[in-house]
């Protein structure tokens, strides 16, 4: 498996949570760990960062993560920049 940097892992988390947020249920930490191949400690660091920056929210009753409006805007902006860079092959 290719080594991923922090940005790639952050984007993958936002994408997975976004995919699971459409049904308004969100995603559990366990599902994120298994999809991303991260251990609990690594994932917690990312989740604390994303929640602290209002990119994700956490529902303690349901024990699920959801993407926020700010997280959606961040993901869209990242994807636009990524597309431009790939187009220019930078």
Could you tell me the end-to-end alpha-carbon distance of the chain, in angstroms, rounded to an integer?
A: 23
DSSP letter assigned to residue 66 = E
Question: By the 8 A CB rule, do 21 and 67 touch?
Answer: yes
Is-above-0.95 flag for pTM? no
Question: By the 8 A CB rule, do 58 and 13 touch?
Answer: no
Helix (H) or strand (E) holding 18: helix 6-21
pLDDT tens for 39-78 read 999 999 999 999 999 999 999 999 999 999 999 999 999 9
- Report the distance separating Cα 88 and Cα 6, nearest Å: 23
Please report the pLDDT score of residue 1 as a whole number.
52
């Amino acid at each position: 498996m290719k080594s991923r940097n922090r940005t790639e892992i952050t984007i993958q988390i936002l994408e997975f949570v976004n995919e699971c947020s459409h049904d308004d249920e969100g995603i559990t930490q366990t599902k994120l760990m298994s999809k991303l191949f991260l251990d609990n400690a690594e994932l917690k660091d990312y989740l604390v960062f994303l929640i602290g920056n209002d990119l994700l929210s956490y529902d303690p009753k349901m024990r699920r993560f959801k993407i926020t409006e700010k997280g959606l805007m961040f993901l869209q902006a990242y994807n636009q920049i990524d597309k431009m860079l790939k187009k220019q092959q930078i």
